[in-house]
Amino acid sequence: MRWEQLLLDDAFTGGALAWVPGRTPQVGQLVYPAGGALDTLCFQEVRLPPGGHPQALGDPGHIQLRGPVRQVVTRTVQGESLLAVRSDYHCALWKVSKQGRAAPLQVLQVGKGATGISLSPHLPGELAVCSRSGAVCLWTPQDGLQQVYKDPETLVFCDPSPWRWADFTAHPRVLTVGDRTGVKIVDTQGPPGCGLLLFRGGAEASCRRGERVLLTQYLGECGPEPQLPTLHLICTQFSLYLVDERLPLVPMLKWEHNLPSAPLWARLLPPPCPGCPRPLLLGGQGGHLQLLHLAGEGASAPRLAGPPQSLPSSSDSLSAFPLLEPKSQWRLQERLKAPTIGLAATIPSSASEPVLSLFQLSAAGDVFHQHLHLQADPGPHSRAPTASWTPQATACCSRWLKALLDVPPTPPVWAAPTFSHRRLLGCMEQRKVEQKGPEGLRAAMAAGRLLRQKDVGSPPSAGPPPAPEPGPEDELSARLEAAWQGRMAAWWERQQGRSSGPGRQPKRRKRRTQLSSTFSSLSGRLDLSDATSPPHSPDRASPEARPRPPVTPPSQESTQELWARGVPSERQQTLRDYMARLPLRGDAPRGVRSPLSGTSSVRATRSRPQTLQDGAAELPPRRNTRRGAAVSSSQTSSVRATASRQQALRKKPRMGF
């Protein structure tokens, strides 16, 4: 929604600036919002001398409202001047006397939000109000509020914009209802839903792709000799259309305005002289202005008298100001480039030559005035009106500039953060910090001020970083360094000598110690000792009975290639080293195989209880001698060791073995 407002802010459609005629043709009132929130309605009495600069008479009057002013509409019907104001959710109506005093008549509340208001040119005090829900209501002091139309959907095709607009026609009981897709004529006294399209955004009007309606306005007036009584103005972001309500769907005139910003307001002025074309002002949101002259009365079709003329905007007057320092120049430039939210114009009838007094209201609250000389009969070679810089206007701009530069820029207002203070303080209390830190933080938050250094105490002293701990030699870094220096061959020879030398043995022994628990299931399955020989006691074993160095028989070397097929290559050397250290005997029976051979572990598990029973049966008889007792105890421990290996066999093997 914010992005759409930057592209097109339709809240000020129709304009928030109006001119109310006063007791004389040279005196009137400018009605506009003021204040930072645009919620103060100001009534400034202005005198327009013939051919001179407008003069403000006294201080403006103020009416404080409860919402921002979005649109201000004035109309004089049967000698009564009425003033209607639209806010976001309220609409108000005043009656303005000749002396300039405003008397309130009614205040309406619009729950869904108001998008547009219009005053009737036929009946004094009749007001048409549109809401975002698609409802159109009529209000009069006698009958009150009456809903005459409601349609939440758009007229021609689907468009997500909730903008709606309503205006009157040549008939007092017929209204025009518009949205972004088209304009429809609605009879307030007919059945609900009846009506016909006045304008369709499509091929009938030769519309471009993506063209949308931005403004629709009735150009006729009620009088004895009305000019253009059935003509309606429809503005899009590309073109301007003049449509006659007697000939719907086919525009009488189409003109591409080429405005850089979206046209959101238009003002049709009376002719400066009898029989002259009527000036039509078209204003864009960026302050761009176009002046058109409409000719044609009665049965003649409307036409443009002369080419449209571009008028200078407020930002074009930057060159008339003196050169300032860069910071002040930037402030002046930004102030002059503020978006325009209102447009008002009048032509004093007492002037000797046609003069146009043009007022523009910016979003910053500044009211700019232009004094333009008009041509009575603009032709095809007429020049655009120029703004005259009188000494009085120059002095007024100098005072405005001095007041602008004297006011210091508004500093940013500090506001309390929106996150939870309790959660933040709870996390801080859990940390081991000084007592002064949390207390100073709470005091600063309670006082609503910025946190200073003295509130949290002295900052912790930053000590030297800890020295890196000595670690093992990085083999990868050494290899990369040798490869970078071109000494990879020497590094490889050193690695080969280190792996085969005695210095490598402790590390390999440590590695076997770490892997001994991994291969516990393997040692529990292996039982290649002689079953007829008595088991050896580790503390009383003779030198001849000690285990001899491992000797790998040729049959075992041939079987190693078989079991090595299922073992990963990075573990084969480790497994060979581990098998070399096992107490294997060269005279092992031929029928017993290593569990690492092709024999399955299931067969080795089933044959082991039978081997244990046979060994126990072939043990010699028990003797009462001391030596026999020792042998008997050794045999008992051997049986227990074999049983423990059998229990280890039942455990789940690790690492896939």
For residue 159, with 0-12 CB atoms within 10 Å meaning exposed, 13-18 middle and 19 or more buried, which class applies?
middle
DSSP string computed for 541-564: --GGGSPPPP---HHHHHHHHHHG
Global pTM reads 0.62
Q: Which residue has the tokens 């201080």?
A: 59
Q: Give the pLDDT score at 647.
A: 53
Tell me the C-alpha to C-alpha distance, in Å, between residue 462 and each of 375, 467, 620: 81, 15, 80
DSSP string computed for 214-264: EEEEE----SSS-SSTTEEEEEESSEEEEEETTSTTS-SEEEE---SS-EE
| Rounded-to-integer distance, Cα 452 and Cα 230, Å | 71
For residue 122, with 0-12 CB atoms within 10 Å meaning exposed, 13-18 middle and 19 or more buried, which class applies?
middle
Task: Tell me the pLDDT tens digit for each residue of 163-182.
Answer: 999 999 999 999 999 999 99
With a cut of 90, say whether residue 45 has pLDDT above it. yes
* Contact indicator for 146, 103 with CB cutoff of 8 Å: no
Most confident segment among 19-28, 225-234, 553-562, 642-651: 19-28
Q: Give the pLDDT score at 599.
A: 38
Task: Tell me the pLDDT tens digit for each residue of 516-530.
Answer: 444 444 444 444 444
User: What is the share, in percent, of the chain residues with pLDDT greater than 90?
Assistant: 34
| Rounded-to-integer distance, Cα 281 and Cα 495, Å | 94
Residue 30, classed as helix, strand or coil, is strand
- From 215, 217, 208, 218, select the one nearest 238 (Cα to Cα): 208
Q: Out of 37-51, 98-112, 314-328, 460-474, which region has the weakest mean confidence (pLDDT)?
A: 460-474
Q: Give the pLDDT score at 17.
A: 96
Kindly state the average pLDDT of the residues 624-632.
43
Kindly state the average pLDDT of the residues 88-102.
91
Task: Tell me the pLDDT tens digit for each residue of 278-335.
Answer: 899 999 998 999 999 998 876 678 888 888 889 988 888 888 888 889 899 999 999 9
Q: Give the pLDDT score at 564.
A: 64
> Which one has a higher pLDDT value, 601 or 469?
469
Q: Give the pLDDT score at 110.
A: 93
